[in-house]
A and B are shown apart, each in its own frame.
Chain A
Amino acid sequence: MNGMTIFLKRRRRAILWTVGLFFFVTLEAQSIERSTVEEAANLASAILQRHPNMMDENARIHLDRLNRSLREALAFERRSQSDEDRRDALSQTPGLLEDLRATLDAAMPQTRFLIDETQAVLQTDARVELPGDQGAILLRIDAQGEGTRFISLEMDSETYPEHRRVGVEIASTGTTWALLEIERAPKAQMTLMLDLTRPDAPSVPALLTVATPEPARLLLTALCDENDEPTPAMIRLTWKTNGRDRMPSNAVAIEPLMDRQGQPRSRRDARLPGDWGGPYWCIPESFDMEIPPGEWEIIIRRGVEHIPIRETFTVDSGQLVEKVYRIERWVDMPRRGWYSGDEHVHARMASDADAAILMAWARAEDIHVSNVVLMGDVHRTWFQQRGWGPEFRVQMNNHALSPGQEDPRTHQELGHTIHMNTTGMIRDVDRYFLYDWTFERARSQGGLSGFCHVLFNMFEVHRGMALFVPFEFVDFIEIMQFNQMGTDLYYQFLNLGFPLTVAAGSDVPWGGTVGEVRMYAHLGDAPFNVDAWFEAVRAGRVFVTNGPMLDLRVNDAMPGDTLTLEPNAPVLISASALGHPERFLPTALEIVANGEVIHRIENENRDAELRVEMEWDADYGAWIAIRAFGDDGSQAHTTPVYATRPGFRFWKIDEAEQLIERRMASLNDIVEMAARYRVDLENDPTNLTKRLFVAQAPELLERVEMAQHYYAELKERVDRERELRASD
């Protein structure tokens, strides 16, 4: 007897079992339908995503693994090329489905029915309790025979038609697990009429009583740090039972002002540094609402100058809970002479009611000046304003809403422009691409103009900037948005010697919330005044931030100022970046001159403030700005101080020729576009953008020629200045 025979004899029983199991699994695999596996995975997803509270953590982890395994089998089956591969893909799933059945049985409360031809007999308590007005019930319906089905059903009890039964399509034979998800369950209890239906069998009715615990009542007030008066604030309220956020009862209805653009919701998904991003609602001072019992988390914010509050509390059924939160400042920028603004707020402001909503939002985020902009393209405008100019501003103490416009605005041609403090709508589609026409009118109205989305070099804005910046039409450049700062294109223009003020705008409703990035303008000791704020922006006394607060002086000059250099006399640069231990700490402060970091200090001691004072030789001229970074990912940047020597341009002369070439390339794009659009129009004569562009091309190309001439002269100036510097 050889070794193999002995082995076979000894292991005969094990081998028989293995072979038997193999055939069983193979046969079972053939009978498993993809739809059954899909239904099982979808039930697991419904529990994991929306009702994690129905299981303890260990069971949830196990269910997550099961879900992933089922999904992998489904993905493999979908990618399979042959029937055999498809069968193989599903061959593991009987074991997984059995595991799912066992997990549901062991780890979840369930309501069990035994069903025959005519009736469903409840095997468990007739009364099912939800944790609150949201929840789910796991039904297990056993019929005679073999078979399994997993289903999940959603039911909003508030909108569910009266007297209508909840149809539950169960397996013909065997066991059905049905997750019935219920939204907005009424107080106390309701009786659900279920209709258990099977293929080729009459439906069987069943009644189920669903009870909800008496809710608690939450009275919440947010207080202003300055005067302890109630104030609007931004709030997130999360029911820890299911991890879902709940809208405060009197949340400000921002959505109607959004013209169905961007993310037109009253719930605002704030894009903020650190852990503070995510959904918030604006509340007008206080609210009183019923909430389900259990553990809750609340976050209350009021813009970047305040310390957000995060608190977890538990409420019992029927309990009255009063919460008063005083949202403390970590810095008072108005006391330092700086007032915040957001130059890019899209919202309809066509009535007092609209303005009241917007004002609550601006106060909740503590943003002092909101440039509320109409938006246009060649076809139409959105976010209508009832008028422009001081008489249509809305002001409440130190918070103001001022109408403006983001128009003209072209996506694939010249970029988007934004205008503030204008006194009338400036729009003529027959001059739509002649941005200078709009810029001039804005300026004659006392307004300010700039390019937006420059941080991303978006919408081909490099072309518009190349064309119009040389003619001094452009006051500001948007370098902060969506929790990001981008300076590449901005620095290219500064390095060519163009003075440009920094700006920041949230671009709501594409952005998350008003003031999530903001620009501070310096008013000095003067009290808050909207006109003074715009004049400060015109003067360039601005920094942008979503965290650190900056201060820069070059000799006595502030951001936006021009400083005349004396030969061989270095300038004194004083800079600081401020944070707070309970908010964020500045990690680094950089002094940037002509695009280069000339000095950097890091926060080795974890101080709240970084300060630097240094002498620096600005030589023949330079732009000098500071930027800082917070440990939560926040950033800030000032407008430069322009240090100039008579007869010299403040520019990065070594890069000037290359930068001029880039501007020339942008201008050439416009020339080529004019030719291309002319051809395109023959195929698509209804394209309004191209039609207008081609119609306006002769005048536009005149401007391109002027700009080309300007850059050509600038190039000559490079040589002249090099000679001058050499002979100096």
Chain B
Amino acid sequence: MRYRRELLPLLLCCVAVGTELRAFCHAPFSSFVERHFFISFSFEYIDLEVVLYFHHEEARAIRRAIDLDGDGRLSPHEFERCRERMEFWSENLFAWFGEIPIEWVHLHPALIDTHGVNGVNSSLVEARLYLFAPMPNDCDSGLLRLEDRLFSDANALITWEIETRDGVDALMKTPGNEVVDSTFVLASPRLQGASREIEISFIGKSNCLGGDGT
């Protein structure tokens, strides 16, 4: 009982800081979160690797959020807690196959890299998410719409890159209606809650969603 009473404030503190890290995607920034989306289509799955680079103020803000005990140093335990919280970041990556919403699943553990400098006031933090979703009903043709609401309050430089396997072809339609088959870079100002969208049409062995892939 005695321990429980002593632990309560600590637990509340952890919950509060954890919630902050989870809600961090909505914090305001003065500058940039650079992001790379590598999207890979195969007959069965769509894999999405997200690489985020936090620069300047964003890097310091995220370091402060990781520093649960506020001692100014980021410990292995704090990194572990951060990785757990990062699992929720995928909730800000929306996607639809045609009209069917996709729920992303983590393919591998999230990574966070502070480039060997573990003070809270340093710059650059790199984070990686590895996600996947099964193709609905083994459907490998149709239209995929992706909406990035990660850190939508921050300016963004976004690289979208698509890759295909198992004979699936894909074309990406950019916000400017340009059609590209490999890489597209987009600079986007802070959106204050709005999103960054891209459409990818993919053509595989079947066409069960009815899209014509154009």
CB distance from B124 to the nearest CB of A (A): 6
A71 — nearest CB in chain B belongs to which residue? Answer: B105
Q: Is B207 an interface residue (CB 8 A)?
A: no
| Chain B 1-37 interface 0/1 with A at a Cβ cutoff of 8 Å (1 = within) | 0000000000000000000000000000011001000
Contact B107 A71 (CB under 8 A): yes
A488 — nearest CB in chain B belongs to which residue? Answer: B176
* Contacting residues of chain B (115-138) with chain A, CB-CB under 8 angstroms: 115, 117, 122-124, 126, 132, 134
**Which residues on the A side are within 8 Å of B115 (C-beta)?**
260, 264-265
Assuming the contacts A262-B55, A411-B155, asked whether A45 and B109 have C-beta atoms less than 8 A apart, the reply is: yes
Contact A633 B108 (CB under 8 A): no
Contact B183 A45 (CB under 8 A): no
Contact B182 A72 (CB under 8 A): no
- Once bound together, how far apart are the Cα atoms of A497 and B203, in whole Å? 44
Contact B55 A453 (CB under 8 A): no
**Which residues on the A side are within 8 Å of B85 (C-beta)?**
none
Q: Is A658 an interface residue (CB 8 A)?
A: no
A510 — nearest CB in chain B belongs to which residue? Answer: B34
Q: Which of A79, A453, A482 contacts B103 (CB 8 A)?
A: A79
Q: Which of B126, B176, B183 contacts A483 (CB 8 A)?
A: B183
- Once bound together, how far apart are the Cα atoms of A49 and B103, in whole Å? 23
**Which residues on the A side are within 8 Å of B194 (C-beta)?**
none
- Once bound together, how far apart are the Cα atoms of A426 and B119, in whole Å? 33
Assuming the contacts A262-B55, A412-B30, asked whether A456 and B186 have C-beta atoms less than 8 A apart, the reply is: yes
Assuming the contacts A261-B55, A411-B31, asked whether A482 and B107 have C-beta atoms less than 8 A apart, the reply is: no
* Contacting residues of chain A (39-63) with chain B, CB-CB under 8 angstroms: 42, 45, 48-49
- Once bound together, how far apart are the Cα atoms of A276 and B106, in whole Å? 29
CB distance from B184 to the nearest CB of A (A): 8
Contact A261 B109 (CB under 8 A): no
Assuming the contacts A67-B107, A71-B105, A79-B103, asked whether A453 and B155 have C-beta atoms less than 8 A apart, the reply is: no
- Once bound together, how far apart are the Cα atoms of A68 and B135, in whole Å? 13
Contact A260 B106 (CB under 8 A): no
- Once bound together, how far apart are the Cα atoms of A72 and B106, in whole Å? 8
Assuming the contacts A75-B105, A482-B157, asked whether A453 and B123 have C-beta atoms less than 8 A apart, the reply is: no
Contact A260 B123 (CB under 8 A): yes
Contact B53 A633 (CB under 8 A): no
**Which residues on the A side are within 8 Å of B191 (C-beta)?**
none
Q: Is B159 an interface residue (CB 8 A)?
A: yes
Q: Is A458 an interface residue (CB 8 A)?
A: yes
- Once bound together, how far apart are the Cα atoms of A58 and B108, in whole Å? 20
- Once bound together, how far apart are the Cα atoms of A412 and B154, in whole Å? 11
Q: Is B45 an interface residue (CB 8 A)?
A: yes
Contact B123 A482 (CB under 8 A): no
Contact B124 A261 (CB under 8 A): yes
Q: How many residues of B contact A (CB 8 A)?
A: 34
| Chain B 179-211 interface 0/1 with A at a Cβ cutoff of 8 Å (1 = within) | 011111111010000000000000000000000
- Once bound together, how far apart are the Cα atoms of A95 and B162, in whole Å? 34
Assuming the contacts A456-B157, A456-B186, asked whether A68 and B122 have C-beta atoms less than 8 A apart, the reply is: no
Q: Is A457 an interface residue (CB 8 A)?
A: yes
- Once bound together, how far apart are the Cα atoms of A217 and B87, in whole Å? 43
Contact B123 A411 (CB under 8 A): no
Contact A75 B106 (CB under 8 A): yes
Contact B108 A482 (CB under 8 A): no
- Once bound together, how far apart are the Cα atoms of A261 and B189, in whole Å? 20
**Which residues on the B side are within 8 Å of A633 (C-beta)?**
180-183
CB distance from A689 to the nearest CB of B (A): 8
* A68, A457, A633 — most chain B CB neighbours (10 Å): A68
- Once bound together, how far apart are the Cα atoms of A277 and B185, in whole Å? 14
Contact B107 A68 (CB under 8 A): yes
Q: Which of A42, A459, A510 contacts B109 (CB 8 A)?
A: A42
**Which residues on the A side are within 8 Å of B183 (C-beta)?**
277, 483, 633
* A75, A79, A488 — most chain B CB neighbours (10 Å): A75
Assuming the contacts A411-B30, A411-B155, A482-B157, asked whether A457 and B109 have C-beta atoms less than 8 A apart, the reply is: no
Contact A483 B124 (CB under 8 A): no
* Contacting residues of chain A (55-98) with chain B, CB-CB under 8 angstroms: 67-68, 71-72, 74-75, 78-79
* Contacting residues of chain B (96-112) with chain A, CB-CB under 8 angstroms: 103, 105-109
**Which residues on the A side are within 8 Å of B45 (C-beta)?**
68
B161 — nearest CB in chain A belongs to which residue? Answer: A277
- Once bound together, how far apart are the Cα atoms of A277 and B124, in whole Å? 22
Contact B108 A49 (CB under 8 A): yes
Contact B103 A75 (CB under 8 A): yes
- Once bound together, how far apart are the Cα atoms of A557 and B123, in whole Å? 48
**Which residues on the A side are within 8 Å of B126 (C-beta)?**
263
**Which residues on the B side are within 8 Å of A456 (C-beta)?**
157, 185-187
Q: Which of A48, A74, A453 contacts B187 (CB 8 A)?
A: A453
**Which residues on the A side are within 8 Å of B189 (C-beta)?**
458, 460
CB distance from B95 to the nearest CB of A (A): 14
CB distance from B180 to the nearest CB of A (A): 7
CB distance from A601 to the nearest CB of B (A): 20
| Chain A 433-460 interface 0/1 with B at a Cβ cutoff of 8 Å (1 = within) | 0000000000000000000010011111
**Which residues on the B side are within 8 Å of A458 (C-beta)?**
155, 157, 187, 189
Q: Which of B103, B108, B185 contacts A45 (CB 8 A)?
A: B108
**Which residues on the B side are within 8 Å of A42 (C-beta)?**
109
**Which residues on the B side are within 8 Å of A48 (C-beta)?**
108
Q: Which of B31, B53, B159, B176 contacts A482 (CB 8 A)?
A: B159
* B31, B124, B132, B180 — most chain A CB neighbours (10 Å): B124
**Which residues on the B side are within 8 Å of A231 (C-beta)?**
none
- Once bound together, how far apart are the Cα atoms of A459 and B186, in whole Å? 13
- Once bound together, how far apart are the Cα atoms of A74 and B105, in whole Å? 9
Q: Is A175 an interface residue (CB 8 A)?
A: no
A78 — nearest CB in chain B belongs to which residue? Answer: B87
- Once bound together, how far apart are the Cα atoms of A458 and B157, in whole Å? 9
Q: Is A484 an interface residue (CB 8 A)?
A: yes
A72 — nearest CB in chain B belongs to which residue? Answer: B105
* Contacting residues of chain A (524-575) with chain B, CB-CB under 8 angstroms: none
Contact B117 A260 (CB under 8 A): yes
- Once bound together, how far apart are the Cα atoms of A432 and B30, in whole Å? 18
CB distance from B108 to the nearest CB of A (A): 4
**Which residues on the A side are within 8 Å of B108 (C-beta)?**
45, 48-49, 67
* Contacting residues of chain A (475-493) with chain B, CB-CB under 8 angstroms: 482-484, 488
Contact B132 A68 (CB under 8 A): yes
Contact B187 A457 (CB under 8 A): yes
CB distance from A41 to the nearest CB of B (A): 8
- Once bound together, how far apart are the Cα atoms of A411 and B123, in whole Å? 18
- Once bound together, how far apart are the Cα atoms of A78 and B84, in whole Å? 12
B184 — nearest CB in chain A belongs to which residue? Answer: A484
**Which residues on the B side are within 8 Å of A262 (C-beta)?**
53, 55, 124
**Which residues on the B side are within 8 Å of A510 (C-beta)?**
34, 55, 157
* Contacting residues of chain A (494-543) with chain B, CB-CB under 8 angstroms: 510
B132 — nearest CB in chain A belongs to which residue? Answer: A68
| Chain B 59-101 interface 0/1 with A at a Cβ cutoff of 8 Å (1 = within) | 0000000000000000000000000000100000000000000
- Once bound together, how far apart are the Cα atoms of A604 and B108, in whole Å? 45
23 contacts between A and B (CB under 8 A): A45-B108, A48-B108, A68-B105, A68-B132, A71-B105, A71-B106, A72-B134, A74-B105, A75-B105, A75-B106, A260-B115, A260-B117, A263-B53, A264-B124, A411-B30, A411-B31, A412-B30, A456-B157, A456-B186, A458-B189, A482-B185, A510-B55, A633-B182
B residues at A contact (CB < 8 Å):
30-31, 34, 45, 53, 55, 87, 103, 105-109, 115, 117, 122-124, 126, 132, 134, 155, 157, 159, 176, 180-187, 189
Given contacts A79-B103, A482-B159, 20 further A-B pairs with CB under 8 A are A42-B109, A67-B107, A71-B132, A72-B105, A72-B134, A74-B106, A260-B115, A260-B122, A262-B53, A262-B55, A263-B124, A277-B183, A411-B155, A453-B187, A456-B186, A456-B187, A483-B183, A483-B185, A484-B184, A510-B157
A residues at B contact (CB < 8 Å):
42, 45, 48-49, 67-68, 71-72, 74-75, 78-79, 260-265, 271, 277, 411-412, 453, 456-460, 482-484, 488, 510, 633
Q: Which 4 pairs show the lowest CB-CB distances between chains A and B?
A: A456-B187, A45-B108, A484-B185, A458-B187
